[in-house]
Amino acid sequence: MINDLDQILSASANRMKRSVIRELLKMTQRAELISFAGGLPSPESFPVQQLKEVVAEVLDTDSARALQYSETEGDKRLREILVDRYRKAKVNVSINNLIITTASQQALDLLPKIFVNPGDKVICGLPSYLGGLSAFAVYGADLIGIELDGQGMRSDLLEQKLEELKKKGQKPKFIYVIPDFQNPTGVNMPEKRRMEIIELARKYNVLIVEDSPYREVRFAGTSQRTMYELDGTGQVILLGTMSKIFAPGFRLGWVLAHEDIIDKLVVAKQNTDLCTSSFVQKIAARYFEKGYFEPNLAHTNALYKEKRNAMVAAFHQYMPQGVKWTEPEGGLFLFVNLPKNMDAEDLFRIAIEENVAFVPGTVFYCNGQGKNTLRINFSYMSKEMNVEGSRRLAGAIKRMMK
């Protein structure tokens, strides 16, 4: 092995950091520990028997293509199916506006690859999805956080920041938002706020990246139109994924965008992995064709509603005064605010002693704030474990308050 590895690493490599959540998951593998740390779908939602049937069909009838390379844009039939689903939702889109990616995390890497130079500004929520923040930072993005309220990114603060940057002669490369059941807060952005952000993006000529992994994981309330649909001009880039609504192990996602942007993404993806797995794309397409997707999604949402309700009820029963949390209409997470004098990283160590784990909120803040916050996942554990884990977490918080 060479003796100067650190000296020859690229600037990008030196900006890379291990995923805090993945590292936390390594610490939470004890059988007796209840982990609310990962953003994991429930194994109960995985359609194992149907997939056995579909996989056999694909291998029996289409193995030559399923096991071969595919075009970078993605399997044509799967793209047609996804486009048709958007059209049924009244989104004006064609197959030329869509590229299949290796889950939406790859899209979060490809976008800064084509847009961001070191020092470029990228606007994101305070807090926001760690995987997006990390992907942008690797390419040298200067992340600028905009505070959230109960309706998502605050448009008044966004306008102030955009105007401030304009006066300095600086233009952000894009505004990164998660409008549907935001990760980590679970907040859902109403249409009025979506339009306010779109209008600001138009005024200041800035792209919007709409990350939408949780949109269809809704079990209460009314669905809002996507920002992509509300805009209709190509100002918005929409990211979707199968990870939360089908099977995360398939690593299937997609990007909806203006054809000129899709063209650049195709070239970037060709230099990354050539194409997403043909095999899993064929399986997914056949799964949709057989009419299995919608019933399984309905089953998943009913399951998650029960789990969320169990956790929320336990929070109301056990949490001490001064602790606040979101109660989302969908998605996978609750976001907890401790009293301002408490530090969630200190709480984490006490919680591990109580055999319960979570993600400290600071990892979701690009500016290092959020020390008194934490993210809780309710989808992975059983209802019973959600209740017991909530009781343990409340006990840890009470210990810390003494």
In this predicted model, what pLDDT tens digit does every residue of 155-197 receive, in sequence order? 999 999 999 999 999 999 999 999 999 999 999 999 999 999 9
Distance CA 296, CA 331 (A): 16
Arithmetic mean of pLDDT, 63-87: 97
pLDDT digits (tens, 9 = 90+) for 314-356: 999 999 999 999 999 999 999 999 999 999 999 999 999 999 9
CB atoms under 10 Å from CB of 51, counted, come to 18
Is 13 a residue whose pLDDT tops 80? no
**pLDDT value of residue 280:** 98
The pLDDT confidence band at residue 25, using thresholds 50, 70 and 90, is: low
* Alpha-carbon torsion, ordered 349, 330, 45, 38, to 10 deg: -20
Q: For residue 16, what pLDDT is reported?
A: 65
Region 380-394 average pLDDT: 98
pLDDT of residue 12: 75
Side-chain half-sphere CA neighbours of 343 within 13 A? 4
Q: Is 294 exposed, middle or buried (0-12, 13-18, 19+ CB in 10 A)?
A: exposed
Q: pLDDT by residue (tens digit) across 121-141?
A: 999 999 999 999 999 999 999
Kindly tell me if the per-residue pLDDT of 101 is higher than 70: yes
Task: Judge contact between 136 and 286, C-beta under 8 A.
Answer: no
Q: What is the mean pLDDT of the chain?
A: 95
265 Cβ partners below 8 Å, 6+ apart?
Answer: 99, 107, 110, 111, 114, 255, 257
Residue 43: its pLDDT value, please? 96
Asked whether residue 243 carries a pLDDT value surpassing 80, the answer given is: yes
Q: Does the pLDDT of residue 248 top 70, yes or no?
A: yes
Q: What percent of the chain has pLDDT over 70?
A: 96
Query: Would you say residue 24 has pLDDT above 60?
Result: no
Q: Residue 5: what pLDDT?
A: 72
By the 8 A CB rule, do 179 and 188 touch? Answer: yes
Neighbours of 151 (CB within 10 A): 16
Query: What does the chain come to in residues?
Result: 402
Longest dimension (CA), the chain: 65
pLDDT for the residue numbered 21? 54
Q: How far is CA 119 from CA 140, 141, 165, in A?
A: 6, 5, 13
Q: Please state which CATH number belongs to domain 7-47+295-401.
A: 3.90.1150.10
Which CATH number applies to 62-289?
A: 3.40.640.10
Retrieve residue 366's tokens: 């690009």
- The per-residue pLDDT for 383 is 97
- Side-chain half-sphere exposure of 331, counting CA atoms within 13 A: 26
**Which pLDDT score, from 0 to 100, does residue 136 have?**
97
pLDDT (0 to 100) of residue 29 = 64
Query: Hey, how many other C-beta atoms are within 10 angstroms of the C-beta on 176?
Result: 30
Residue 28, pLDDT score: 54
Instruction: Determine how many CB atoms are found less than 10 A away from the CB of residue 345.
Output: 12
Q: In this model, does residue 22 exceed pLDDT 60? A: no
Q: Which residue has the higher pLDDT, 402 or 338?
A: 338
Residue spans of the domains in the chain: they are 7-47+295-401, 62-289
**pLDDT value for 155:** 98
